[in-house]
Amino acid sequence: MLKRIFDITVSSLVLLMIWPIILLTAILTKLASPGPAFFVAKRVGQNGKMFNMYKIRSMHITQNTGTAITAPKDARIFPFGRFVRKAKLDELPQFWNVLVGEMSIVGPRPEDPLLALGPKTRKLYRIIIPAG
């Protein structure tokens, strides 16, 4: 309960301070590459519950080409997107996920469903506690 109060307080304050940065980054992303400004990734949260994790898009929209793992010099990353990733601006919308209770400020990184819910899950703790 105390952790949830902490998450709500911190994420609310952070979102109030950074919303102009998120807005500007989203606009510049839209200008730099056609497509939506935000990327929505399905992730596995606490107790295996699926949720949408929000990020600023940093890659061109493609027809599911390439690998699921992104290399640092991946050709799918557009130039402004490279800056967004390096500055970690793509992660800022996840404070919304914290505010609505899908993630926590402190916790393991939420897993991709293909990795987390496989038959040989060795990282069970990642779906038992809230993602962070």
Spell out the domain ranges in the chain: 2-128
Q: Which of 14-18, 38-42, 43-47 has the lowest mean pLDDT?
A: 43-47
Query: 61-97, pLDDT tens digit by residue?
Result: 875 555 566 766 778 889 999 999 999 999 999 999 9
Which of the 8 DSSP states describes residue 41? E
Distance between CA atoms of residues 41 and 51, nearest Å: 8
Quote the pLDDT of residue 65: 55
Long-range interactions of 119-128: CB distance < 8 A, separation 24+ = 126/44, 127/44, 127/45, 127/46, 127/47, 127/48, 128/46, 128/47
Where does the chain have alpha helices with state H?
2-32, 79-86, 94-99, 113-116, 125-128
Which of the 8 DSSP states describes residue 33? S
**Is residue 54 scored above 60 in pLDDT?**
yes
